[in-house]
Amino acid sequence: MRDFNFFDSLKILEEDILDDLNDENSEIPKEQNNFSTEKIEKNINIYTSKKLCQIIVSYRYLGLNKDLAIICMKELGKRRDSGDPIDFENEIELMLEELPKLDFKPIDIGSFIFNKVKK
């Protein structure tokens, strides 16, 4: 597995989305561009299918922006119906496989303290 910094990836995704919103062709004034679900939904057609997949992955991996992930899935479905050849289900699964596995098992506090005291 390659080195991966998820937080750097989230920052890049946010910057990409903001760059798209700041596009000169955007109808939204630059001073009003913020990372918000409403603005992304309004301009969903300017995002690539891959970028929509990345938003869905952020939800499935960290539980962020469920409403936005639903909007993206609907948009990907519409695009498929319109002839977009991307296999977004597979693309999402591949992106998730690249991420490190999160393991939030509770630690045994007693063993932890015992090992610290023992040292």
- The dihedrals phi and psi of 117, each to the nearest 5 degrees, come to -70, -40
Residue 33's pLDDT is what? 47
Q: What are phi and psi of 87, to 5 degrees?
A: -90, 80
Chain-centre distance for alpha carbon 2: 19
Q: Give the range of the structural domain holding residue 31, as residue numbers without chain letter.
A: 6-118
Q: pLDDT tens digits for 71-84?
A: 999 999 999 999 98
Residue 81 domain-assigned (yes or no): yes
Q: What are 100's two structure tokens? A: 């490190």
Q: Is residue 1 part of a domain?
A: no
Instruction: Point out the least confidently predicted range of 41-45, 76-80, 109-113.
Output: 109-113
* Inside any domain, residue 66: yes
* Statement: residue 102 has pLDDT above 50: yes
For residue 49, pLDDT over 80 is answered with yes
The Cα 21–Cα 82 span in angstroms is: 24
* DSSP for residue 33: -
Q: Is the pTM of this model over 0.85?
A: no
